[in-house]
Structure 1
């Protein structure tokens, strides 16, 4: 990559980071291209040259955000830890990215997710599901997941959960319950005695 291409990519990244920061704080609708340009230290024309429209920029920001979150999740999947410790870290170690998300941005993000054709859906099918199956199999091998529960049943459960999350009316309810839902998924309603 030559110097021009590097500068171009850095400007795009600056625009995405500025957009994400503003969207997370104020929500997408309340942020203008002028505000993004000012925060990214670029002209509005540059933003339109790279992203064509605010709607297209929003889609790129969603993808950028999902990629950041997924990188954090992959790092957790890749930790060389016993199954139970890995699950605890996945459940209880809040990521900075998740902590910083505002309710309005979350609602906008979930609205995009609810269309069923989002980047989240694509990444989930392509990379997330295989990693979860791998994790479930390790849990079964180590005796932490009941071996009589098939991967197909777990995948169906995940699919039902995913479809519920894609409902347009669920975003406001979901954000404050994410930790509880994660515990419920991994430990069921009885819970685990020796957490």
Structure 2
């Protein structure tokens, strides 16, 4: 990457950071390109040159945010934590992110970002699924996920668990979720019978 490309990327990163703060705080409709430009120390023309429209900036910013969240997930997966602790951290982060995204999409008129849902589904179907396949492989290797379980079945189980955590989080029960995580992880991995009690 030459000097020009580095400067351009730095500006794009500034624009993403500022637009994320503003969009997530005020919603898509209440934020103008001029506000983003002023806070990012660039001209509105620069934003239009890079992104074309406010809608495109919003979609690209959201994809950038999702890439960064996936990097956090990868860091957790590659950390020295035990597999149950990795799972706990991933589920809490995912519950928080689901709440943030659900609130964000409530503030976006569907007519203004028609293709965004498809983009998100495509992202989930590709990048997120690749991450999840690694997660399942690690769980099998460490003996926490049964060898006979398929990725599809494990994903369904993980998603059901995660959605309920997200629902509790959204209902304002974050403290309860945090307090109960160890018990929930016991249920997640060993069911109602518990570790070694059913054999």
After TM superposition, the score normalised by the length of structure 2 is 0.68
Which residue of structure 1 lines up, in the alignment, with residue 170 of structure 2? 176
2:99 touches 2:170 (CA, 8 Å); kept in 1?
A: no
Which residue of structure 2 lines up, in the alignment, with residue 18 of structure 1? 18
Q: Distance in 2 between matches of 1:70 and 1:105?
A: 18
The C-alpha deviation readout for 1:17-42, integer Å capped at 9, x for no partner, is: 11111011111111011111111111
The change in CA–CA distance for 1:7 and 1:134 in structure 2 (over 3 A counts) is: closer
Q: Specify every segment of 5 or more residues in structure 1 that has no aligned partner in the other structure, as ranges.
A: 166-171
1:140 touches 1:147 (CA, 8 Å); kept in 2?
A: yes
2:16 touches 2:64 (CA, 8 Å); kept in 1?
A: yes
RMSD between superposed Cα atoms in Å: 4.1
CA apart distance, 1:106: 4.7
1:113 touches 1:121 (CA, 8 Å); kept in 2?
A: no
Aligned positions of 1:1-195 closer than 5 A: 1-92=1-92, 94=93, 98=97, 101=100, 104-108=103-107, 116-118=117-119, 120-155=120-155, 157=156, 176=170, 187=188, 193=194
The C-alpha deviation readout for 1:132-159, integer Å capped at 9, x for no partner, is: 223223323433234443334234x279
The change in CA–CA distance for 1:72 and 1:42 in structure 2 (over 3 A counts) is: same
CA apart distance, 1:82: 2.6
The change in CA–CA distance for 1:43 and 1:175 in structure 2 (over 3 A counts) is: farther
Q: Distance in 2 between matches of 1:113 and 1:173?
A: 26
Q: Specify every segment of 5 or more residues in structure 2 that has no aligned partner in the other structure, as ranges.
A: none
Which residue of structure 2 lines up, in the alignment, with residue 168 of structure 1? none
